[in-house]
A = this chain, B = another copy of it.
Amino acid sequence: MPETQTKNPSFETRIPEGDNLHRQVCSDCGFVAYENPKVVVGAVVTHGDLILLCRRAINPRSGFWTLPAGYMELHESAEAGAMREAWEEARAKIAIDALLGAYTIPRLSQVQLIYRARLTDPAISAGPESLDVGLFAWADIPWDDLAFPSVRWALTHFNEVKDRTHFPAFSNPPGETGDH
């Protein structure tokens, strides 16, 4: 789905009756457009020892490498959303194994639920939001060309527990907010 949302020019910022925070309120009709954090769902997907990455065809960070991940849609489970994104971005069929990380990017008001998963079919190809997809050995991961800090977090956390069947879900690395 598109990643930006245009503000309605007739909306104003004020505290609705019975609330305690400023909200976007339509000055014409009083409609309160609550703004909520958004949920990104995705996965570190493996095929043997290789890791699936996608090169973004869209902004932000077009041309950089990322995990298959995107905004969760209404009425789906987080796991189903991660599977859907793997299909949309990499034409990848995956099986979810465990929750790897529950990260927050406060500046973007974004929660990221990143799962550990594996390909159930070795065929992959670039979906419409990807320029390219690839299976990378750990030594070949393009660290300098990753799209977002949270991609680095998830890959690093994945590697920390790669030999473990069960592990606690990670959160943001200490002190990191995803801003750089």
Measuring CB to CB, which residues of chain A are less than 8 angstroms from any residue of chain B? 1-2, 5-6, 8-10, 16, 18-21, 26, 29, 31-39, 71-79, 98-99, 102, 104, 106-107, 109, 111, 113, 166-169, 171-172
A26 to B8, CA, bound (A): 9
In the complex, the answer to whether B111 meets A78 with C-beta atoms within 8 Å is yes
Q: Which of B6, B20, B32, B168 contacts A167 (CB 8 A)?
A: B168
Q: How many copies does the complex hold?
A: 2
Q: Tell me the dominant secondary structure on chain A's binding face.
A: loop
Pick from A19, A71, A77 the residue with the most CB of B within 10 Å: A77
The 4 closest A-B pairs by CB, nearest first: A169-B169, A8-B31, A77-B104, A74-B109
Output the least CB separation between A99 and chain B (Å): 5
Pick from A5, A20, A34, A37 the residue with the most CB of B within 10 Å: A37
Q: Which of B10, B31, B36, B79 contacts A6 (CB 8 A)?
A: B31
Q: Which of B6, B20, B102, B172 contacts A102 (CB 8 A)?
A: B102
